[in-house]
Chains A and B, each alone.
Chain A
Amino acid sequence: MPTPQLEARDLHKRFGRPGPAQVHAVRGVSLAIERGRCFGLLGPNGAGKTTTIEMLEGISAPDSGEVLFEGAPLGKLSRQHCGIQFQHTALPDYLTVREVLRFFAGLYESHAPIEELVERCRLSDFLDRDTHLLSGGQRQRVLLAVALVNRPRLLFLDEPTTGLDPQARRNFWELVREIKAAGTTVLLTTHYMEEAYELCDEIAIMDQGRIIAQGSPASLLKAHFDAVAVVLPASDYEIGAGKLSNLLSDLAPVPIREGLLEIQTTSVDRTLRAFIDAGVPLQRIRIREQTLEDLFLALTGKGLRA
């Protein structure tokens, strides 16, 4: 079996002095990321996600456990070959985009030509602009270019599209797909389930300092959900409610929002047939697959931004 690009073994991290006030933020996280894969780390706020990723990046040290980059402890090798896009970071003041790229390029043994980064991250329109004058989307692309300056074998992206408009987000996804296609391993944290679904080959969901589920998005959904959701207005449901209880004894409608009901079913055919027999109008019925958001809620009991 090939050595993983990054491996974490039983990571623990506590904050504060020993006692009741101490926070045990990460409680035995282990994971392995294969080369060339995109790995997503998801979890609600306070799940220990940022603490975990900072230990994986080498920014903070675990209290116990170890992190291996290509089989070796974090150190000179990992700093030389990892690229990091932090969630909150400033660029040096008063430097242009070109100067920032040159500065970071000068810190590595080998680096990508500036022109390559400019083309890859589409920076040519604002290459000579001061960094504090960039828009949110432009700034994220510059931060990505900085993370790619050393042609990293492993790229950390910590909530890279938070605060971007939908178009800028999709443009960013396209960049990440290109980076993946070039063989770079990516570790992504995000609040957007759609983003994880679009980009990640494998995801791990964290809650209360532990990984509570891990696998490909499709396999996780398959393992946790064997039903689809049928959504219809409560007023339509009420029309045939009396007959439906006789036709489908296991029907459990749940109000979701604005007068809508959601019914989980393992057989859409049987449910719709019962609706027709009971005289429920079908014009406004919607059937949707379970998403990662549903999985997340089911596993953690919390919304992503909770």
Chain B
Amino acid sequence: MKRRLERILAAWSARNREFVRDRSAMAWNFLFPILVVVGFAYAFSGGEQSLFKVGVLLPADRTLEQLRPTEPFLTTPQIQWVAIPGTEEPQARRQVARHGYDLLWSSSRYWVNPTSPKGQIVEKLLLASTPALPREPIQGEPIRYVDWLISGLLAMNMMFSALFGVGYTIVRYRKTGVLKRLKATPLTAAEFLIAQMASRLVLLVSVSTIVYAGSHALIRFRMQGSYLDLAVVLVLGALCLIALGLLVAARISSEEFAGGLLNLLSWPMIFLSGVWFSLDGAHPWVRAVAQVFPLTHVIDAARAIMTEGATLAQVSPQLWTLGALTAVFVALGAWSFRWE
């Protein structure tokens, strides 16, 4: 066991040194995410979007289009309508509290945040067409876009570093014969993979900490929950994404093919995992597809902790999913791994 740990430590240490020496990769990993966060913070600091956003709680088996002929408010122009299944009322109400929706409408009542200026305007529009609809006020401070975005950017950066930093590196090692050379030593495949995962995990935790601290110093985003809880989510998310990188790199020896495959995985995750925009109101199949991606669960959990102050117990569904996905990726990756 001692020898095994020494071998893992040797491989772990060599990989860390390699990363530190590769100045361009270092700069990319540390500076790029900070620049993105700061860039977006400034880009969206000039005011809110002009469009109003209203959530519509749908009764069972009804669509927004079916409601419109009998509900004149739902035909108001200049409003972005988000259809929400009735079962998701609690989440939708939280969005009203955080100014995500300017108003939440159902056929029997509506919810509005009295501290939201846009909510008050939309409420006036509503009362003009349906004056008798019961009102339920919801209190809560607004969430700026950057508060909402920061968890997505942290997770997205982790995803790129995990997939390309691990997947691409292993494929390059295989192509250039480094893996073949290592195969001839007492280092086992499991030891090699553990060393790679551990090295990248340490890197990701370091990078995420620096990016978080650097971005926070510059733009003071919201952090409602526990730092420890956030760390647990990010570590588990990092492990899951690294394991996905290992799975991709398990057999491939062409860097071009690996690059294509990694892009094929990462781009849908960027658009469908809720990095840039919420999937609330998106077509059900889009939301179903998003649940397959580990990035969705990392972002959902991190965002709930950062913006809502959620606890680990409250994000346990995401944690369990990430744990299960990690186990599947590691098992498949180790089983299919080939040195050559």
Contact = CB atoms under 8 A, between A and B. Distances in A.
A89 B3 CA distance: 26
A80 B186 contact: yes
B14 A109 contact: no
Contacts of B187: 107
Contacts of B166: none
Contact of B186 (A59, A79, A86, A93): A79
Given A89-B176, A93-B22, A109 B184 contact: no
Interface in B159-180: 173, 176-178, 180
A108 B176 contact: no
B255 interface: no
Contacts of A107: 7, 10-11, 182, 185-187
Nearest to A76: B186
Contact of B14 (A80, A86, A103): A103
Given A86-B177, A90-B177, A106-B7, A99 B183 contact: no
B17 interface: yes
- Classify the secondary structure of B's interface with A: helix
Contacts of B10: 102-103, 105-107
A106 B5 CA distance: 10
Nearest to A83: B184
B181 interface: yes
Nearest to B20: A94
Contacts of A103: 10-11, 13-14
Interface string B182-202: 111111000000000000000
B18 A95 contact: yes
Contact of B181 (A79, A89, A99): A89
Contact of A92 (B9, B18, B180): B18
A91 interface: yes
Contacts of B173: 92
Contacts of B21: 93-95, 130
A109 B187 CA distance: 11
B6 interface: yes
Contacts of A95: 14, 17-18, 21
A79 B22 contact: no
B280 interface: no
B340 interface: yes
A89 B177 contact: yes
A94 B178 CA distance: 13
Given A103-B14, A106-B6, A82 B184 contact: yes
A93 B181 CA distance: 14
Interface in A71-101: 76, 79-80, 82, 84, 86, 88-95, 99
Given A86-B177, A106-B9, A109-B3, A92 B14 contact: yes
Contacts of A106: 6-7, 9-11, 13
A60 B182 CA distance: 14
Specify which of B3, B14, B182 lies most central, judged by the most chain A CB atoms within 10 Å of its CB: B14
B11 A86 contact: no
Contact of A59 (B3, B6, B11, B184): B184
A58 interface: yes
A104 interface: yes
A57 interface: yes
Contacts of A86: 177, 180-181, 184
Contacts of B181: 84, 86, 89, 146
Contacts of A57: 184
Nearest to A60: B340
Interface in A38-90: 57-60, 76, 79-80, 82, 84, 86, 88-90
Contact of B180 (A59, A91, A109): A59
A59 B7 CA distance: 19
Specify which of A76, A82, A84, A90 lies most central, judged by the most chain B CB atoms within 10 Å of its CB: A90
Specify which of A103, A104, A107 lies most central, judged by the most chain B CB atoms within 10 Å of its CB: A107
A96 to B, nearest CB: 9
Interface in A95-133: 95, 99, 102-109, 130
10 interchain residue pairs of minimum CB distance: A106-B10, A90-B176, A94-B21, A89-B177, A103-B14, A107-B185, A84-B184, A94-B18, A89-B181, A79-B186
Given A84-B181, A88-B177, A106-B7, 18 more contacts: A76-B186, A79-B184, A84-B184, A86-B180, A86-B181, A86-B184, A90-B176, A90-B177, A92-B178, A94-B18, A94-B22, A95-B14, A95-B17, A103-B14, A105-B10, A107-B11, A108-B186, A109-B186
Interface of B: 3, 6-7, 9-11, 13-15, 17-18, 21-22, 173, 176-178, 180-187, 340
27 contacts: A59-B183, A76-B186, A79-B185, A80-B186, A82-B184, A84-B184, A89-B181, A90-B176, A91-B178, A92-B14, A92-B15, A92-B18, A92-B178, A93-B22, A94-B22, A95-B21, A102-B10, A103-B13, A103-B14, A106-B11, A107-B7, A107-B11, A107-B182, A107-B187, A109-B186, A130-B21, A146-B181
